[in-house]
């Protein structure tokens, strides 16, 4: 772990502690359409982001993505898990129910302040491109819709690989602009907050993981958006993974890390 320790919030009964390695804590990046630095974050924007999950489409998409991630990662019982770019902790909370232990990392203290109300996991403010952990610290590392918002996704996946033990697993969830969802939103994806995102292609995702071990790419979220009768149509569409994985809006790269 890095040596600098900064307490950024005191949620009910628990401390939210940010550990920032000296000289690295103020790296800037772009997320959710705005430039971020540690200490410069927007609670209103974090709340807006988090509330999206309570919309009908947000709720549906989250459940499909959570299930896809769980299937792709496999059993987490007893595992030490790191979630990077954990945001408001929606996925962290799901992982926490099964894993041995979880740590959440994000660059934005406002996102983590919301996560702190949702999870028991320790939450750290740190840059995914320079993680403050020793090599091979975790059994499983994961990141969901983070690669789209960092300057160098290759570096981020490399960092996840570094802190994952050999034989462990790295899972990267990423949105696919070339999916049915992406096509239906072509215009909207050019406006804030999406215009700041760099959507990685399926080929790019695979190329990030390959240097670290054996890669598998999964796909989910085949509905193009909030259709009438989504609760009935959605599960039928979710059967499309085998037939046309490239049209899934949520891609999950899993890397089984090799090496000793």
Binding stretches for ligand SAM (CB under 6 A) = 29, 31-32, 36, 84-87, 90-91, 106-108, 111, 127-129, 144-146, 149-150
Least Å from the CB of residue 53 to ligand SAM: 7
Q: How far is the CB of 236 from ligand SAM (least distance, A)?
A: 25
Instruction: Please state the closest distance from residue 85 (CB atom) to ligand SAM, in A.
Output: 3
Task: Give the residue nearest to ligand SAM (CB).
Answer: 87
Question: Which tokens go with 206?
Answer: 């695979």
Q: Residue 18 forms beta bridges with which residues?
A: 6
Q: How far apart (Å, rounded) are the C-alpha atoms in residues 68 and 64? A: 6
- Residue closer to ligand SAM by CB (options 21, 166) is 21
CB 197 within 8 A of CB 149: yes
Residue 140 to residues 46, 181, 253, Cα–Cα distance (Å): 26, 29, 13
**In the bound complex, what is the minimum distance in angstroms from residue 242's beta carbon to ligand SAM?**
25
Task: Using alpha carbons, select from 143, 114, 93 the residue that is nearest to residue 43.
Answer: 114
Given the complex with ligand SAM, which of 35 and 258 has the nearer CB atom? 35
Q: Which one, 197 or 212, has the nearer CB to ligand SAM?
A: 197
In the bound state with ligand SAM, the residue whose beta carbon lies nearer, of 127 and 139, is: 127
Among candidate residues 166, 186, 168, 187, the one with its CA nearest the CA of residue 178: 186
């Amino acid at each position: 772990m890095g040596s600098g320790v900064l307490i950024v919030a005191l949620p009910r009964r628990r401390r939210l502690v940010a550990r920032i390695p000296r000289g690295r804590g103020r790296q800037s990046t772009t997320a959710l359409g705005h430039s971020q630095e540690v200490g410069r974050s927007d609670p209103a924007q974090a709340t807006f982001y988090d509330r999206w999950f309570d919309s009908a489409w947000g709720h549906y998409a989250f459940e499909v993505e959570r299930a896809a991630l769980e299937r792709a990662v496999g059993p987490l019982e007893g595992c030490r898990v790191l979630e990077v770019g954990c945001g408001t902790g929606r996925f962290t909370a799901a992982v926490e129910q099964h894993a041995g232990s979880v740590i959440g990392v994000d660059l934005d203290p406002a996102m983590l302040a919301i996560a702190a109300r949702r999870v028991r996991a320790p939450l750290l403010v740190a840059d995914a491109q320079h993680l403050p952990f020793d090599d091979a610290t975790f059994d499983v590392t994961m990141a969901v819709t983070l690669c789209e918002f960092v300057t160098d996704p290759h570096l981020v996946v490399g960092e996840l690989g570094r802190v994952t033990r050999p034989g462990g697993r790295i899972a990267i969830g990423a949105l696919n602009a070339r999916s049915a969802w992406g096509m239906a939103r072509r215009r909207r994806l050019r406006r804030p907050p999406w215009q700041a995102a760099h959507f990685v292609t399926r080929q790019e995702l695979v190329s990030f993981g390959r240097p670290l071990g054996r890669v598998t790419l999964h796909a989910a979220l085949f509905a193009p958006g909030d259709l009438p009768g989504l609760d009935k149509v959605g599960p039928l569409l979710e059967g499309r993974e085998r037939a046309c994985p490239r049209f899934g809006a949520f891609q999950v790269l899993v890397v089984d890390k090799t090496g000793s």
